Amino acid sequence: MRYLSEEEFQLASRFLFLSMAMVVIQQDIQHIQNGSFKIKEPYMDLLEKMNTEAANERRQLRKSMQKNKLKVLTLNKNDSFSSFLFLSNGREEKRNYFNPAIRKKVEVIIQELMQKALPPYQHSVSANT
């Protein structure tokens, strides 16, 4: 049974999965810094811009969640599923997610952040080439 409105659920779940995406980005930054990449700067710049975009969005989501008295808590995790508790104005709703589905949601958010962080492709064609 659903106890949260669709808007409350969308807000809280975006916050949850965006937070997970930020963890992945930060781990990737560490892997690049400590890895054997020959040229690290372009990857680091992209990931740092993505992280900044994510942090700005999450800050706005957090403000909206505080205004609407929304919270998300992690209940438990195992190899297959993760459970979260969504709280809003004294109402609560438990959601179970299949871990590969979580991974897919986080991947979509990372792709969105990458598109925001990358400048539009500037393709200039010279008439002499």
DSSP structure class, residue 92: E
Tell me, what's the pLDDT at 123?
Answer: 52
pLDDT digits (tens, 9 = 90+) for 56-114: 999 999 999 999 999 999 999 999 999 999 999 889 999 999 999 999 999 999 999 99
Position 124 pLDDT exceeds 80: no
Tell me, what's the pLDDT at 96?
Answer: 96
Which band of pLDDT confidence, cut at 50, 70 and 90, is reported for residue 129?
Answer: very low
92 beta partners: 87
HSE-CB for 64 with a 13 A CA cutoff: 15
Tell me, what's the pLDDT at 17?
Answer: 98
Strands (E), 46-88: 70-77, 81-88
